[in-house]
Amino acid sequence: MKTAIIHHPDCALHDTGGYHPERPERTKAVVDALRENFNDDQLNWVLADKAALSWVEQVHDGAYVRQIEEACLRGDDVLDRGDTQVCMESFDVARLSAGGAMLAVDQVMQGKAKNAFSVMRPPGHHAERAQAMGFCLFNNVAVAARYAQQQYDLKRVAIIDIDVHHGNGTQAAFYDDPSVYFVSFHQYPFYPGTGMAREKGAGEGLGYTLNIPLVAGAEYPEYLLAWETEVLPALTDFKPEMILISAGFDAHIDDPLANMKLNDRDFYELTELIKDFAMQSCGGRLVSVLEGGYNLEALARASVRHVQSLCDVK
Ligand SMILES: [Zn+2]
């Protein structure tokens, strides 16, 4: 079986205003690099579809969803006091981005692909229940997790966030929920300010959030050590039935927004760790959802390495 790549040219319609790091060229750079480096025996190319609002509203307040729609239709250009730009088309593209993550779940759960990577924007992991932030409108990976649970009756889903920023929105969505285990590797202290090791969940969800704050300048051995000593034991106990990756590539050494030192190859190795665990725990059911990554060349190269692991190219 192949790896599914979920994409849509309309991702480029989400216009963030010219000088914004989260720009339309990002998804095109990844798609072009994947087309160049893989053949049709390796990848299934699948066009994304807009998420039904009922699924988006599993994670976000209905009033918030309507507020985003109205802001876009009104022609507002900024949400979240400044860093989350929108245009008239952004509401529809955000639905498409969430729908891409859901379609990636379908590809894997229906046995159409061995795993899947949704190459869509805007990203999602900073978006909270009623708050756009950090370039994110809807929390795509959180919507996909709820969709996997409800559409396919999965009891336990794990989300592993490798974006250099803490996935505050995803953490908040499942903080008191023991059915979704959230792991985040991130630079700390750093934007958005959350993600301390002592944030471990609350109520019934206590012990189902695992934060791996890493100091600026961290390299792959620090990720590997945390994986082996903390993440792998915790996920082994949890026994997920599907694993979602919040795949940000902004921990790359060439990324302009952060200070970590992962190289292209490290993204292959990191994906291998997760994929090997998915093979052991849940038959390889693995869905990756694009988050950040702001140096176009580094984003494209690291994404190629990520997909080399997903489709078993050495
Ligand atoms: Zn990021």
29-38, 79-88, 271-280: segment of lowest average pLDDT = 79-88
* pLDDT > 90: percent of the chain: 95
Residue 148: closest CA among 285, 310, 5, 292: 285
Asked if 105 and 58 touch (Cβ cutoff 8 Å), the reply is no
Distance 135 CA to ligand 1 centre (A): 9
Query: Which of the four pLDDT bands, split at 50, 70 and 90, describes residue 78?
Result: confident
In this predicted model, what pLDDT tens digit does every residue of 133-144 receive, in sequence order? 999 999 999 999
Angle (CA) 82-84-85 rounded to 5° is 95
CA distances from 112 to 44, 100, 229 (A): 9, 15, 34
Q: Specify the pLDDT at position 23.
A: 96
Q: Give the whole-angstrom CA distance, residue 213 versus residue 230.
A: 12
pLDDT reading at 293 higher than 70: yes
157-161/242-247 β-pairing: parallel
What is the residue-averaged pLDDT of the chain?
97
The residues, any chain, with a CB within 8 Å of residue 240's CB and separated by 6 or more, are 156, 157, 158, 181, 281, 282
Distance 111 CA to ligand 1 centre (A): 31
pLDDT reading at 49 higher than 70: yes
* Long-range interactions of 10-14: CB distance < 8 A, separation 24+: 10/89, 10/92, 10/93, 10/96, 11/93, 11/96, 11/97, 11/120, 11/121, 13/87, 13/89, 13/92, 13/93, 14/86, 14/87, 14/89, 14/90, 14/93, 14/94, 14/121, 14/122
Distance 88 CA to ligand 1 centre (A): 24
Q: Give the whole-angstrom CA distance, residue 136 versus residue 158.
A: 21
pLDDT reading at 80 higher than 80: no
Q: Give the whole-angstrom CA distance, residue 253 versus residue 249.
A: 10
In this predicted model, what pLDDT tens digit does every residue of 174-205 receive, in sequence order? 999 999 999 999 999 999 999 999 999 999 99
Q: Give the whole-angstrom CA distance, residue 74 versus residue 56.
A: 21
Q: Specify the pLDDT at position 77.
A: 86
Average pLDDT, integer, range 85-97: 96
pLDDT reading at 298 higher than 80: yes
Distance 79 CA to ligand 1 centre (A): 18
pLDDT reading at 169 higher than 70: yes
Q: Which residue out of 7, 126, 186, 306 is catalytically annotated? A: 126
Query: Which of the four pLDDT bands, split at 50, 70 and 90, describes residue 95?
Result: very high
115-118/3-7 β-pairing: parallel
**CATH topology for the 3-310 domain:** Arginase; Chain A (3.40.800)
Does residue 20 carry a catalytic annotation? no
Average pLDDT, integer, range 89-114: 98
Specify which residues 158 forms β-bridges with.
181, 243
Q: Specify the pLDDT at position 19.
A: 87
Q: Specify the pLDDT at position 159.
A: 99
Query: Which of the four pLDDT bands, split at 50, 70 and 90, describes residue 146?
Result: very high
